[in-house]
Amino acid sequence: MSSTTLPAPARRGKRGLTAALALVLAAVLAVGVNMLADRLLRSARLDLTQNSLYTLSDGTRQVLTGLQEPVTLRLFYSRRLGATIPAYGAYADRVRAMLDEYVAVSRGRVRLEILDPEPFSETEDRAQALGLQGVPVDQSGEQVWFGLVGTNLLDDERTIPFFQPDRERFLEYDLTRLVWELSNPRRPVLGVMSSLPLNGDPRAMMMRQPGVGQPYVISTQLRQFYTVRDVPLDAQVIEPEVQVLLVAHAQNLPDATLYAIDQFVMRGGRLIAMVDPHSESQANRPSPGQPPARDTASNLDRLLNAWGIEAPSDRVILDQRGAWRVRADPRERVQAVDYLAWQNVPAAGLNRTEIATAELAQVTIASAGELRRREGAAIEFIPLITSSPASQLVEARLVREQPNPSRILADFRPEGQTRVVAARVRGVLASAFDGPPPPPEGEARPADFPAHRARSEGPANLVVANDADILEDRFWVRVQDFFGQQVTTPFSDNGAFVINLADTMAGGEALVGLRSRGESLRPFEVVEDLRRGAEVQFRQTERALQERLEATERRLRELRQGGQGQAASTLITPEQRAEIDRAREEIRRTRGELRQVQLELRRDIEGLETTLRLINIALVPTLLTLFAIGLGVVRARRRAEARA
C-alpha cells in the first residue's frame, strides 16, 4: 500500500485554513460566553482594587435589598467636563460603575438614567430646574454638569448638586444616604437641648461676623436624617413623639428640666448626653457684642450620679497621642507645639465591637473630661472613646483662660492609665427624683403632665460623653465655598460618630457601617512618636532652664540689695562675680543639653529614614535578584535532568 504525500504549498494552505477556522470558532465561543454570562451572571462582580472601591458595604446592601418601592436615579453628566478635565472623567467613570452596582444589587428596584445636558438643551434646563449646579470650565461661560437627582413614587426628590472629587471617599455614603431618604419618607424625631447655637446665631449673621452665625455642620446633617425639634432649656416635659434626645452642653438647667430628662429616660426614651469641663466651642463663639464666656463648663451630675456615672467637670485629659500641632508663642524659638488638650483619637482608642464606632478611623476631642462608673453601680458601662496610657488628668483652669501649650507640654507627666471620654450605658436605672419638683416660679405644670416613674421601663440605653466639642466644626470638618455652594469635607469622623449614635438609638443601623468607608489618614506613627517624645523632653529641659535663669536673677537681685549705699549698688562684688560665672556656666550647660535633645531627635528620625531608604532601594531589588537567580538555577537543574 502506498501513501500519498501532499506538496508543501498544499500543506501550508491546509494549516492556514485550519488556523483561520480556529480563530473564527474562538471568536464565536467568546461572544457566546459573554452573552451567556451577561444573561446568567449579570450580578456577579470581582473587585480587585486595593481598597475594594466598588464593593458595597453590608449597610448599603441592606438598604438596597429592603426597598419596597422603586427609586429612579438620574445622573446628569456633561461629557465635555471629562474631556476638558480628565480627573473628572475618571471620577465620573467610578460614579457610573458604583451606580451600576446599586442597580444590580437592588434587583431592579433602583433605576438609572444617564443624561448629557448639552448647552441650551431641554436637558440642561431640566438639570437647572432640579437644583443641580452648573460650573463654567472656560472663559466662554458654557456650563458643565455633574450631579444626581433621585425620585420615588411620591415625587420626593433628593439631589447631589455636583460630585466633588474631594468627597470621593464618601461617595458610597452620599449615594446610600440619598436612596435611604427616598425609601424612608417618615423620619425619626430627634430632640435637641443645648446652650450652644447649633442652629446658628441670627444676630451674628445680621452683623456679618464670618464663621460665627452659621449653623453647625452636624446640625445640618442631623436634619437630613431626622425631624429635629428644639427642646427649650426650661422644658418641664419632653414630648412623647421624641424618640432620641440629644442634650449637648446644656448649662444650669433647673430642677424641673432635669426631672423632664429623667422621666424621659424612665419612660424608655433614648438619651445622648454631652457635658463638658470646658467648651472650646462656647469660648470661640461669643455672642455678638458680648465678651468671651467665662463659665464654659456644664454638667448633669444630679442625673448621672443617680444612674451610676461620674463625669467630673473640674479636670481635663491631656494625651500625648494624636495631639494637635498649634502655633506657639511668637517669642519662642519653636513655632509649633503639641497642644495636649486637643487630640485626634485613632482607631486604637475607639471601641471596635460597638457598631457606632467599629468602622471609624478617628474622632477629635478637645479639652475633654473623664467618665467613670460609680463604685457599686449595677450598670453596663461600655467605653466608646478612650485616651491612650500616655495621658494625664489636670485641672480644667489650665485650659480655660489663655492656655499656654508650651507650659502644659513642659509640665506633662503621663500617668500610664487610659481614660474613658464617651461610653454607652445600659441597665435598669432608678430615678434621680422622689417625685416631681415644683414648677419654676410663675409657671404652672402642663395639663398632660405624666405620672412619676421611680424606675426605668426595662433596661435604659443612653450614651454619655464628657466633651461637647465633638460637635464643633473646626475639630472635624472643612467648609469651603464652591461657586456659591457650601462643600463640607470631613477630616475626622465626629459627624459620623454622632449620627451613628443617633441611628443606633433610633433603631436604624443600616447606614452605620458605611459612613466612614474610604481612605483614612495613615501618618508615620513611628516618626511622630519619636518627635513627640523628643519634644516633651525638650520642653521639660527648656522649662528647667527658665527656672534656673529666674532663680539666678532673683539671687543677683538679692546680692545687689545686700550692698550699702549708691556706690555699693553699682559695683560688682566677688560674690556677685562668682554667682554670675556660675549662672553663665549653667546656661551654657543647659543649652548644650537642649542641643543634644534636638540632635537625638534628628538622629533617630534620620536613622529611621535611612533604614526605610535601604529597604526600598536595596533590599527589594536584592530579593528580586536572588529570586531570579534561584529560579534560573532550578530551571538549569531541570534541563540537565531532562537531558540525562
The whole-number average pLDDT for the span 228-232 is 95
pLDDT over threshold 90, residue 16: no
Q: What is the pTM of this model?
A: 0.63
pLDDT of residue 533: 62
Residue 189, H or E segment: strand 189-194
- Over residues 27-66, the pLDDT tens digits come to 777 677 666 655 555 445 555 454 455 578 888 888 899 8
- Over residues 536-580, the pLDDT tens digits come to 666 666 666 667 666 766 665 665 565 444 444 456 667 767 777
- Over residues 259-316, the pLDDT tens digits come to 999 999 999 999 999 999 999 998 887 665 566 677 899 999 999 999 999 999 999 9
CB atoms near residue 359 (< 10 Å): 20
> How does strand 244-248 pair with strand 420-427?
unpaired
Q: How far apart are CA 181 and CA 178, in angstroms?
A: 5
Q: Are 452 and 435 in contact (CB under 8 A)?
A: yes
Q: What type of residue sits at position 303?
A: L
Q: Please name every residue paired with 370 in a beta bridge, in sequence order, or none if there are none.
A: none
Q: Are 220 and 200 in contact (CB under 8 A)?
A: no
Q: Rounded to the nearest 5°, which phi and psi values hold at 84? A: -80, -40
List the Cα angle 638/641/643 in 5-degree steps.
Answer: 110
pLDDT of residue 416: 92
Q: Rounded to the nearest 5°, which phi and psi values hold at 248? A: -120, 110
Q: Please name every residue paired with 298 in a beta bridge, in sequence order, or none if there are none.
A: 276
In the DSSP assignment, the letter for residue 201 is -
